Amino acid sequence: MMQSQAIRLTMLAIGLFSCLWTGEGTAAGEAEAQAGPTTATSPALTWESAIGTGVTKHPLIEAAQHGVLETEAVTNRIASINYPQVSGILVGTGGNTRVLSNLGISGSLPKPTNPMATAGSRVDLLITDFGRTTHRILANKALAASAEKDVLMMKAWVILSVEQAYLNCLKQQRLVEITREVLTERQLIRSQAETLYRHQLRAKLDFDLAAVEAAKAELDFIKARNDLKAAYAALNAAMGIQGPDAYTLNEVQAAVTPAQPIEPLFKQALEKRPELLGSRDRVQAAEEALKAAQALNFGSISAIGTAGYSWWGHQEVVSVQGNPNNPNAQLGWWGVGVATSTPLYTGPRIQSQIDEADARKGEAQATARTIANDVILQVAKAYLSRLTAEQQIQVAQERVAHAREALTLARERYKAGLGSILDVTTATADLLAAQTGLAEAQYEYRAGDSALAYAIGSEYARY
C-alpha cells in the first residue's frame, strides 16, 4: 500500500514537472511571437550620427543661418550710404515744365516753354552725418553677431533634443525587454497554476488570478512596444527629418562619477552660453543705436555732381546781345554743389527717437540679466537632477536584487505548496517596478549629463 502510493506520487511529480517545462517553453514562444519583427533589419543609428544628422539637417538651424545672412545684408545696405550713389537719368519735358541742373523736373514760367530732352548722370555723396551712419553700421554688426549666437543656441538645443530622444528610445527598448521578461514569467506562472489546478492540487482561483496577471503583463508589453514606436518618431522629429519608424541603436554607457562642485559650472555657463553672448551683443547694438539717434541733432553734409547733354526744340536767346545759350539747339553741361543740413527745430521728433533708443537699451540690459538668471537656474536644476539620478541608481540596484530574490523564493514556496499565488504575483510586480525604476534612473542619469552639458554650454562646440 505504501509502495503503490509512493509510485503514484512519483508519477504525479514527473507529470507535473513535464507540464511545467512545456508551459515554460510555450510562454517563451508566445512572448517572442508577440515581440514582432526584430530591429536587425532596421537601419543602424549611432549616438554621434544622430547628433550629426540633427546639426546638419534640422530646419530650425537652417532658419537661424538665414537670419544671419539677412542681418548681414541689412548691414551692407546701411553701409552703402557711405559710397557715392550714381544714377543715370533720361528726362523729356514740354509745356510749362523744365529740366533742372540737378536732373530733376520743376515748373517754369506760366507759359509754354521750349521742349527739351536731357540725358545725364548724377552723383550723390554723403560727406558726413556726424557718426549717425557709423553707429548704425556698428549696431547692425552687433545684431549680426547676436544672430550668429542664435545659430549656436539653436544648435545646442537640437543637440540636447536629439540626445534626450535617443536616450528615451534606449529606455523604451529596455522597458520592452523588461515587460517581455515579465510577460514570460507570468505566462509561466499561469501554466504552473493551470497544471496544479488540473491535478487538483490548487484551487481554480489561483489559475484565474494567474491568468489575470498574465493578461495585464501582455497589455504592459503592448504599451511598451507602442511607446517605443512613439520614441522613434520623436527621435526623427528631434533630428529634423522624416526617417524610418525604427532604428538599431547603440547602447550608451554612462559611468557614474562623483559630482564636481557646482560653483565652477555657474562661471562656465555665464561665459559660454550662446544666449548670454547674444544678449550682450544686443545690448551693444542698443548702445550704438542710441548714439546714432543722438547724432541726429548735428545734421549732415553732402555733395552732388551732375553732368548731361540736352536737346531743345529750337534755340533759346537769353542775352541782350541775342546770342543763344544752346547753339545748334543742343548743349553739354555739368555742375557740382555742397549742401549742409542742420535741424533747428523738429518738435519732439529727434528727442523722442533718442528716448526710444535709450528705452530699448534698458530693455536689452534687463533681458540680459533675466537670461543670466535663467541660465543659473538651468545649471542648478540639471546638476541636482543628475545628482538625484546618481543616488537613485544605487538604491534601485539593491531593490532589483532583493525583488529578484523575493520572486525566486515566492515561486519555490508556491511550488512546494507553502505560499499562495498572490505572493508570486506580488513579487513579480515588485520586480517589474524595481527593474523599471532602475532603467529610468540609469537613463535619467545620462539625460542629466546631457542637460548639464547644455546648461553650461559645453556641448555645441564639439559639432
If DSSP codes are grouped into helix, strand and coil, which group holds residue 108? coil
pLDDT at 106: 84
- Asked whether the beta carbons of 53 and 163 are under 8 A apart, the reply is no
| Residue pLDDT, tens place only, 395-410 | 888 888 898 888 888 8
Nearest to 275 by CA among 362, 156, 382: 156
In which band, very low, low, confident or very high, does the pLDDT at 21 lie, cut at 50, 70 and 90?
Answer: very low
Report how far apart, in Å, the C-alpha atoms of 10 and of each of 101, 115, 171, 199, 202 are. 125, 130, 47, 13, 18
CA atoms within 13 A on the CB side of 461: 7
Sign of CA dihedral 256, 258, 262, 263: negative
Kindly tell me if the per-residue pLDDT of 383 is higher than 80: yes
| Superfamily per CATH, domain 19-57+135-299+348-462 | Outer membrane efflux proteins (OEP) (1.20.1600.10)
Nearest to 231 by CA among 180, 176, 179, 177: 176
pLDDT at 156: 94
pLDDT at 364: 96
Nearest to 101 by CA among 73, 120, 125: 120
pLDDT at 134: 96
| Residue pLDDT, tens place only, 337-377 | 999 999 999 999 999 999 999 999 999 999 999 999 999 99
What residue segments make up the domains of the chain, in order of their start? 19-57+135-299+348-462
- Asked whether the beta carbons of 60 and 158 are under 8 A apart, the reply is yes
pLDDT at 24: 41
Kindly tell me if the per-residue pLDDT of 286 is higher than 60: yes
| Residue pLDDT, tens place only, 33-48 | 444 434 457 899 999 9
Kindly tell me if the per-residue pLDDT of 113 is higher than 80: no
Q: What is the mean pLDDT of residues 424-451?
A: 85
Q: What's the CA gap between 79 and 71, in Å, rounded? A: 12
pLDDT at 393: 85
| Position with higher pLDDT, 441 vs 17 | 441
| 309 bridge partner residues | 119, 332
Alpha helices in 102-131 (DSSP H): none
In which band, very low, low, confident or very high, does the pLDDT at 288 lie, cut at 50, 70 and 90?
Answer: very high
Sheet containing strand 116-128, edge to edge, reads: 85-93, 116-128, 300-312, 330-341
Q: What's the CA gap between 455 and 268, in Å, rounded? A: 9
| Residue pLDDT, tens place only, 302-341 | 999 999 999 988 887 766 676 777 778 899 999 999 999 9
| Residue pLDDT, tens place only, 209-222 | 878 888 988 998 99
Kindly tell me if the per-residue pLDDT of 207 is higher than 80: no
- Asked whether the beta carbons of 193 and 421 are under 8 A apart, the reply is yes
Q: What's the CA gap between 125 and 303, in Å, rounded? A: 5
pLDDT at 60: 95
Strand bridging mode 300-312 / 248-249: unpaired
Q: What's the CA gap between 216 and 213, in Å, rounded? A: 5
Angle between helices 204-239 and 421-456 (to 10 degrees): 10
Angle between helices 47-57 and 204-239 (to 10 degrees): 50
Q: What's the CA gap between 410 and 420, in Å, rounded? A: 8
Kindly tell me if the per-residue pLDDT of 462 is higher than 90: no
Torsion, Cα of 218, 223, 228, 233 (10° steps) = 150
3-state secondary structure 240-304: CCCCCCCCEECCCCCCCCCCCCCHHHHHHHHHHCHHHHHHHHHHHHHHHHHHHHHHHHHCEEEEE
| Residue pLDDT, tens place only, 53-86 | 999 999 999 999 999 999 999 999 999 999 999 9
Which residues have a Cβ under 8 Å from the Cβ of 378 and sit 6 or more positions away? 269, 451, 454, 455
